[in-house]
Amino acid sequence: MAAPLLTINGLSVDFVTDQTTTKALKNISISVSRGEILAIVGESGSGKSVTSLSILQLLPSPPAVYTSGEIILTTNDERSDMLTIPREKLQRIRGNEIAMIFQEPMTSLNPVLTCGFQVMEAIRQHEPLTEKEAMEKTIALFEKVKLPDPAGMFKRYPHQLSGGQKQRVMIAMAMSCEPALLICDEPTTALDVTVQKNILELIRELQVQNNMGVIFITHDLSVVAEIADRIAVMYKGEIVEQDTTATLLSSPRHPYTKALLACRPGLHEKGERLPVVSDFMEVDGEGNIKEKQAAKQESHVYPAPGTSSQTPLLTVENLKVYFPAKKSFLGKVTAYTKAVDDVSFTVYAGETLGLVGESGCGKSTLGRTILRLIEATEGKVLYKGIDLLKTAPATLKSLRKDMQIIFQDPYSSLNPRITIGDAIAEPLLVHGLARNEKERKEKVVSLLEKVNLRSEHYNRYPHEFSGGQRQRIVIARALALNPSFIICDESVSALDVSVQAQVLNLLNDLKKEFGFTAIFISHDLSVVRYISDRIMVMNKGKIEEMGNAEDVYRNPQSAYTQRLIASIPGAVI
C-alpha cells in the first residue's frame, strides 16, 4: 500500500508571548492520500487554520513554537519533513506541490493587480514559461474553473468580480502548477448557498481530474457531507474523532460531534429550541470532557409561538431604489442598476418575515431603505400609517427609537475605541431615555444579562469578545430602546453553526419577551424557515415568491426558490 501523501504525527503548537503560553494544537495526528478529500471540522478557535498554516510553515514564529511532532510530505518517493526542510526547498514546495485556497478571496488577491497577472505570477514562479505561454495557460485555467469570458477576466481587477468569481480565480491560481495536495481553508464560508454548491462541485471535479489529495477545512458538517471521504473533528486544539464521512455522520461517537450535527436549524421545527454544545457535554476545570446523558432527550421545546396579528405594522408600496450605473460624457446618467425594483409587501405586528436571496438580489438595500439609511428613488414605506419616505427629520428621529437594525458584521458595527457598556448606553443618551448615569448603567447591565453576558463585561472593549459574543452585544444595543420593529441583516451568517444556534435561540427568547416584529434577512433558507412566520424570496431586485415559511420551504413554486433549496448543503443527512 502506497504511503499517505501527507502525514501529521503528534503535532503540538504553542503561541508564546511575554505574558502567556496558549496551546493551539495538542498532539494531533492525521493523514491524507492522493485521490482523497479529508475534511477538518470544528468551531472558530479549534485549531483548524493553525493546522493548515503549519503545513506550509505560514505561522509567524515567534509567537508560534512547534513543541513536538512532524509533518511528512511524500512525493515521488521522497519524504520531506515540512518543519525541518531548508527554506529554498520549502519555497519550491509552496504553490507547486502544496497549494492553498484561503477563506477570504478579497484579502487574498492584490487589489492593484489584474486577476490574470496574479495567476501568471504564480505560474512563472515555478515554471520556465514565457509571458505569452503563461498568459495562455492562465486563460485556459480560467476556462477550466468555469469563469465566464476567460480572456476578459484576465484583464479585470478583483473588485470587478463577484465573491464566487474571485474564489474561482483563487482556485485557478492554486491549480496552476497541478499540486499533489490542495488545502482549502473555509473556501465557501462567505458565499451564497448556490455559489457554494458550484465551488464544492468544482473542487471535487478538479480533485478527481488531477488525483489530488485535498484537506478541506470548515465549521459546517453539512458542507463536508457533500464533498469529503473522511472527516476529522477538532475541539480546542485536539482531534476528538475521525472516521469515514458516512460512518461519522450516521454514528457519531464524541458528544462534540453529536452537538455539531444536532444544532443545524434545518433539522428542527419552528418553535423547537435548537440544541447547543453545552447540552451534550460539560468541560471541567482541567479540560476533561464529560458527556451529558440529558442530551439524548428531545424535551427542550419553546412554547408555541404566538400567531401574528392581522394588523399591518409596515406596508411597502411600489418601492424602487435605483443607483446610477453609467454616465455620458456630460455627466448625464444613461443607465441604472435597479437594486430594488417595484417591490410591495406588508409586515404584520408580531410576525417575523424572512427575506431570502443571493448576494446582489437587493435584500440589504431593501432593509436599509425601509429605515431611511438609503434613500428611495420612488414608492412608499408606511410604518404605523406614517410614510417614512416623506417624514420630516425631527419626526423621523423620534420614530427611529422604535425601529432598529442588527447588522451582519458585529466587528465593524461596534466602535473599537469605546467599551461595550458605553456602546449599548449610547442610544439611551441620544434619545434621552435615562435620567442619569446610574440608571443608564442599570439598564445596560440588565440588557447584558438578557443576552447571556455578565455585568463585569460592561467595561471591556469589542476586541475582547468572540464573534458570537459581539453579535449578542449588538443585539443588546438594538433592544436598548425597546423597539417594536427590528431588521436582522444577515445577523447569523458569519457565525459557526453552534454559535448560530445560540443566537437563534436568543432571538426566539427575546422576541417572546419583548414582542417585537422583525424582518430577518439571510441567504440561507433553512435558517429563515426555522425563525420566520412567512418567507419572501428576492431575485434581481424583485419579489420572486412569498408565502407561509413551511409552504415556501417544502413546496416552492418558483424555479429560482427551488434552486436555492436544492443548493442547501447536506440537506439529505
**368-412 pLDDT, tens digit each:** 999 999 999 999 999 999 999 999 988 888 888 899 999 877 778
The pLDDT assigned to 306 comes to 46
Domain ranges of the chain: 1-97+182-188+213-253, 312-566
Most distant pair of Cα atoms in the chain: their distance? 77
Mean of pLDDT values over 110-122: 93
The dihedral built from the CA positions of residue 453, 469, 492 and 355, taken in this order, carries a sign that is positive
pLDDT (tens digit, 9 = 90+) per residue, 252-307?
999 999 999 998 888 888 878 999 888 898 887 777 788 886 544 444 444 444 45
pLDDT (tens digit, 9 = 90+) per residue, 403-422?
999 987 777 889 999 999 99
28-31 — which CB contacts under 8 Å span 24+ positions?
A: 28/69, 28/234, 28/237, 28/238, 28/239, 29/239, 30/232, 30/239, 30/242, 31/4, 31/6, 31/7
Q: How many CB atoms lie within 10 A of CB 204?
A: 16
Question: Residues 505, 274: contact at Cβ < 8 Å?
Answer: yes
Chosen CATH of 312-566 out of 3.40.50.300, 3.30.365.10, 3.40.50.360, 3.40.50.2000? 3.40.50.300
pLDDT confidence bin for 498, thresholds 50/70/90: confident
Dihedrals phi, psi of 53, to nearest 5 degrees: -70, -30
- Cα separation, 48 vs 233, whole angstroms: 9
CA distances 109 to 173, 187, 315, 439, Å, are 10, 14, 43, 49
- Cα separation, 565 vs 134, whole angstroms: 40
Question: Residues 312, 347: contact at Cβ < 8 Å?
Answer: yes
Mean of pLDDT values over 512-530: 90
- Cα separation, 120 vs 136, whole angstroms: 9
Mean of pLDDT values over 11-20: 89
Which residues have a Cβ under 8 Å from the Cβ of 265 and sit 6 or more positions away? Answer: 274, 500, 501, 504, 526, 527, 529, 530, 531
Dihedrals phi, psi of 252, to nearest 5 degrees: -65, 140
And the C-alpha cell for 537?
A: 424570496
- Asked whether the domain spanning 312-566 has the same topology as the one spanning 1-97+182-188+213-253, the reply is yes
And the C-alpha cell for 388?
A: 417614512
Q: How many CB atoms lie within 10 A of CB 243?
A: 17
Question: Residues 34, 211: contact at Cβ < 8 Å?
Answer: yes
DSSP-assigned beta bridge partners for residue 536:
355, 546
Amino acid in position 561: T
Residue with cell 458538517: 221
Closest-CA residue to 316 (of 239, 259, 376): 376
The pTM of the full predicted model, rounded to 2 decimals, is 0.83
pLDDT confidence bin for 10, thresholds 50/70/90: very high
Question: Residues 315, 388: contact at Cβ < 8 Å?
Answer: no
The CATH class given to the 1-97+182-188+213-253 domain equals: alpha beta
What is the signed CA dihedral for 309, 313, 318, 319, rounded to 10 degrees?
-130
Question: Residues 556, 544: contact at Cβ < 8 Å?
Answer: no
pLDDT (tens digit, 9 = 90+) per residue, 205-254?
889 998 999 999 988 788 888 889 999 999 999 999 999 999 999 999 99
DSSP-assigned beta bridge partners for residue 354:
520, 535
Peptide bond into 62 cis (omega under 30): yes
pLDDT (tens digit, 9 = 90+) per residue, 179-196?
999 999 888 776 778 888
pLDDT above 90 for 38? yes
The pLDDT assigned to 308 comes to 57
DSSP-assigned beta bridge partners for residue 8:
30, 71
The pLDDT assigned to 566 comes to 86
